[in-house]
Each structure stands twice: as C-alpha cells, then as structure tokens.
Structure 1
C-alpha cells in the first residue's frame, strides 16, 4: 500500500479525523429532538436548509462527517483531497458561528460562552487550509525543480 500522506501530516489528520468521525457517529441515530436542534441551528444560519426534513438533514450531516473523518484517518487519501474536504466543511461551520446570533460578543469576533464550542471550528479551517497550502506548494516546487 502506497501512502500519499506526508508523515508529519499523520498526527493532525488522526486527531481531526477521529474528532470528526466521532461527531458523525454521534449523530447517526439521532432522536427527533436532537435532529430538530441540529437542523434548527443550521437552518437559522443557512436558510436554504429550512424546508429540509430535520431527520434527513441530520442523517446526511452524519454521513458527511463520517466520510470526512474516515478520509482524514486513511493515509492513502491524499492530503490535498482531505485538506480540501476539511476546508469546505469547516468553512460551513465557521459560517454557522458567524451567522448564529448569540455566538459572538457584540461588535466583534470573540466568542460568547455559548459560542466557544463553534468558535473552535476555526482551528479545523486552519488545519484544512494548511494541508492544502503545503500540498499545492509542494506540487509547485516539484514543477520548478523538474
């Protein structure tokens, strides 16, 4: 088996992958109340989700998190691909933080106590962007060297 992940990416990919996979697995069999809460928060930030059934939304979110977590954990998934997926997913989470009332202190980006859980998603975004930048810069260097 050929690994496409740089060895120094493994610790961060394992940590983030396990976190995201666990999040997806915890939503897999969500009850109606949990699904309504997850859907309500997403629909409040992203109105195009309003007409979606909460159970369907939560099931799809669970599957997306399970797929992303698994991709991060598997070393043969290229870091550029895993980083792009993590960047897209976490950008949505950061958007949720920025768009949901009560998550930020008045007039700024600093989180409220309630927003701290979502504010940490900026780390996921930074990790995704970091994986992407390194992989894209590495490809650019190899073209110049060749």
Structure 2
C-alpha cells in the first residue's frame, strides 16, 4: 500500500466495514425494506429471502471494507472492489423513482443521501488508476534502463571493433559480435523486468 493511499483506504474501509456490520444486526423490518428496495432495481434478488439478502449484502460490505483496510492488499485490487461496490449503489440511486430530478442525474431531497455514494466510485477509481499508472511507470523505467544498457553494449562492441581493425580484423569482428550478444541479453532482461512488474500489479 502506497503511503498516500492510507487516508483514503482507511476512511472508506472503516465506513463500509461498519455499514456491513450494522446490516448483520438489522431487524426483520429493516431487512424487508432493504430487500424490497434492492429487488425493485435488481430483479435478480426477488427470489431471495429478505434475511438472506441482508446477510449477503452485509458480508459483501465487510469484505470490501476488509480489502481496503488490509495493507497487504494492493490498491489496484481494493480500488476495483470499491468502485464496483459504489457503482452498484449508484445504480440503485439512478434507477429508483423519486431519487433524481427530471434530468435523471441531480438528486431530489429524498435522493441526496443516496447520491453521495458516487464518491465511492471516484475513490475506487482513484486507487485503481494510481496503482496501475505507478506500476506502468516503474516498468517503463526498467525497460528504459535495459535498452540504454543494451545500446551502450552495442556501442562498446562497435568501438572495439573499429579500434582494433588496424591490428586484427578477426578480433574486431569478434568484439562486434560479443557486443551484440551482450545487448541481446540485456534487452531480454529488461523485457523480463517489464513482465514481472506488470504481473505484480
């Protein structure tokens, strides 16, 4: 976890974790309300009982909160989970009648409390994209260093070949071939570093 991601991950993670724990303690009336609201927007949940749906939602929120709070989880993973969770809540806000103005985006007085969930999407995308761009930057540096080393090796081989041409043509050719061989190996190492960096991200 990058130090700059700590405040955002702790704030969102603690909020969502607490929300999930509270849902597990919801009474029957609360379970029915949450299930009725969600199933009206996402029909896939209609056949699920209110109790099971509430447990599923609660454990889902606890899982997302844990991903954000655990420092061993990469920000790319935690951010993607957060963005997906926020997108689901935002979808409920946009599809529920009476939550938005006539333009279908701006919240009504009743929808203001739900419209704020869009910040979860923004926070998740920020974590994911920053993590991805950071990984790309490191990979690019690794490749640039490898290519520079390879070019240096080629130049060294060529210089050695030209410098020794007056004394031994055979030695100059060997120097050139050695330089090309070293360059190929260093370029291969650079590409391996790129692959490893992208895999870790």
User: TM-score, normalization: structure 2?
Assistant: 0.69
Deviation at 1:107, TM superposition (A): 2.1
Q: Does 1:67 align with 2:63?
A: yes
* Cross-structure match for 1:84: 80
SS of the equivalent of 1:51 reads coil
* Cross-structure match for 1:27: 23
* Cross-structure match for 2:127: 131
Q: Which of 103, 114, 121 is residue 110 of structure 2 equivalent to?
A: 114
Q: Where in structure 1 are there 5+ consecutive unaligned residues?
A: none
Greater helix fraction, Structure 1 or Structure 2:
2
SS of the equivalent of 2:99 reads coil
Larger Rg: 2
RMSD: 0.9
Deviation at 1:136, TM superposition (A): 0.9
Deviation at 1:44, TM superposition (A): 1.0
Moved over 2 A (4+): none
Deviation at 1:108, TM superposition (A): 3.4
Deviation at 1:74, TM superposition (A): 1.5
C-alpha separation in 1, matches of 2:21 and 2:109:
26
Higher relative contact order (CA 8 A, sep 6+): 1
* Cross-structure match for 1:45: 41
1:103-134, Cα deviation, whole Å (9 max, x unpaired): 10112311011111110111000000011111
**Counterpart contact for 2:24–2:55, Cα < 8 Å:** yes
Q: Which of 3, 8, 16 is residue 4 of structure 2 equivalent to?
A: 8
Q: Where in structure 2 are there 5+ consecutive unaligned residues?
A: 143-201
C-alpha separation in 1, matches of 2:81 and 2:10:
15
